Amino acid sequence: MAKKDLDWGNLPFGYMKTDKRFVANFKDGAWDKGCMTDDDKVVITECAGVLQYAQTCFEGLKAYETADGRIVTFRPDLNASRMADSCRRLEMPVFPEDKFVQACLDVVKANIDWVPPYGSGATLYLRPYMFGSNAVIGVKPADEYQFRILCTPVGPYFKGGVKPIKVRISDLDRAAPHGTGDIKAGLNYAMSLYNIVDAHKCGYAENIYTDPASHTYIEETGGANILFVTKDGKLVTPKSNSILPSITRRSLVQVAKDYLHIEVEERQVNKNELADFAEIGLCGTAAVISPIGQIDDHGKSIMVPAGMDEIGPVLGKLRETLTGIQMGTVEAPKGWIYEIK
């Protein structure tokens, strides 16, 4: 078999149907062993729990071709344990973590020709997800669930290089105090759509959410955690229990400490401090790090010293080191890289 004939350098960040996907069903209190299928269609009752009460959660991770031609994926064990946390919070059955990891590797293997070539900037995005599949009308958890993993090749998040973005401090909330902000639930995204559409209309790439109880401390955007670099070169990440624990952020913190010998602080970040930082960026699987050049806060513009032209030196070095680890050009910490081929 050979790689698919795609214009790898010009793929959008979008969905494309690939050859195989993994499907497992939970019924009568147990998961079946699951299988790989060609069928991209999901057939469920009109009254399925997911359709009525949004009982669904998901994950996102990538597979890469490395510089020396191996096919690898990055820390899928952390996606497995985070999905288990999401499931417990949503009264859904956990798909066993070891089987989750194996199914991710199997999906990549079954779609190996769809893994974009090294150097193209594109990657194979994996989307594990689960939903309540049987009829539910009185409010309660479903009794039956489907777990699937689809994959699709995606282009680089930034075409033509990493460009700083302009964002705004949001008036709306993505998470409630003591709510579901720390799990990867579809419902957290449904309620952010109105606000992101409005942000785009107003010329902003993203919304920064503050803590939902006091609107004083910086939390994250709709789909990425935030990183700050102080003027004396420390990395700061906001601490809050309504932030989604980003695997990219946790990895970058470790890279900062162990590879770049940068001091890291996880602490509350007051929105009044924003003007004091040298560099600010968003992080997540999709873009790794997106630098922020400007933050608008109700008529006041904070111009980040790193500027609107390119990523700052510290975030740039962090991004380069982590992508090097993922692409096999920088030695990875033990256990981070799972080899498929």
Q: 217 CB contacts (<8 Å, ≥6 apart)?
A: 210, 211, 238, 240, 268, 269, 270, 271
Q: How far is the CB of 220 from ligand PLP (least distance, A)?
A: 5
CB of 49 to ligand PLP, least distance (A): 21
Sign of the alpha-carbon torsion through 165, 170, 176, 178: positive
Q: How far apart are CA 114 and CA 111, in angstroms?
A: 5
Q: Does 76 bind ligand PLP (CB under 6 A)?
A: no
Tokens read off for 78? 């952390």
Residue the block writes with tokens 């064990």:
77
The minimum distance between CB 247 and ligand PLP, in angstroms, equals 3
Provide the terminal-to-terminal Cα distance of the chain, rounded to the nearest Å: 14
Q: Which of residues 273-302 bind ligand PLP (CB under 6 A)?
A: 284-285
Please count the helices (runs of H) and the strands (runs of E) in the chain.
7, 18
Write down the residue that tokens 């380069």 correspond to.
320
**18 binding ligand PLP? (CB under 6 A):** no
| Residues near ligand PLP (CB under 6 A), total | 13
Q: Give CA–CA dist 89/180, Å, rounded.
A: 8
- Kindly tell me which of 9 and 60 has the beta carbon lying closer to ligand PLP: 60
DSSP 22-46: EEEEEETTEE---EEES-------T
d(CA 86, CA 93): 10
d(CA 6, CA 12): 12
Between 247 and 311, CB nearer to ligand PLP? 247
Considering beta carbons, is residue 60 or 324 the nearer one to ligand PLP? 60
Query: What is the C-alpha separation between 64 and 8, in angstroms, rounded?
Result: 13
Active-site pick, 184, 231, 271, 317: 184
In the complex, least distance from residue 326 CB atom to ligand PLP, rounded to whole angstroms: 12
Give yes or no for residue 60 binding ligand PLP (CB under 6 A): yes
Say how far apart CA 163 and CA 314 lie, in whole Å.
Answer: 15
Residue 246 binds to ligand PLP (criterion: CB under 6 A): yes
Binding piece for ligand PLP, criterion CB under 6 A, among 111-119, 123-131, 142-150, 239-247: 239-247
Q: Which stretch binds ligand PLP (CB under 6 A): 11-19, 243-251, 273-281, 303-311?
A: 243-251
* By the rule CB under 6 A, 248 interacts with ligand PLP: yes
Given 244, 256, 269, 295, the residue binding ligand PLP (CB under 6 A): 244
Which 214-233 positions form the footprint of ligand PLP (CB under 6 A)? 220, 223-225
**Least Å from the CB of residue 138 to ligand PLP:** 29
Active site residue 184: yes
Choose between 71 and 224: whose C-beta lies nearer to ligand PLP.
224
Q: Is 184 in the site for ligand PLP (CB under 6 A)?
A: yes
Do residues 281 and 260 lie in contact, with contact meaning Cβ atoms separated by under 8 Å? no
Binding flag, residue 56, ligand PLP (CB under 6 A): no
Among the listed residues 122, 247, 262, 327, the single contact to ligand PLP using CB under 6 A: 247
Q: How far is CA 133 from CA 7, 36, 118, 315, in A?
A: 37, 19, 38, 42
114 vs 209, beta carbon nearer ligand PLP: 209
Which amino acids are annotated catalytic? 184
Contact residues for ligand PLP, defined by CB under 6 A: 60, 184, 220, 223-225, 244, 246-249, 284-285
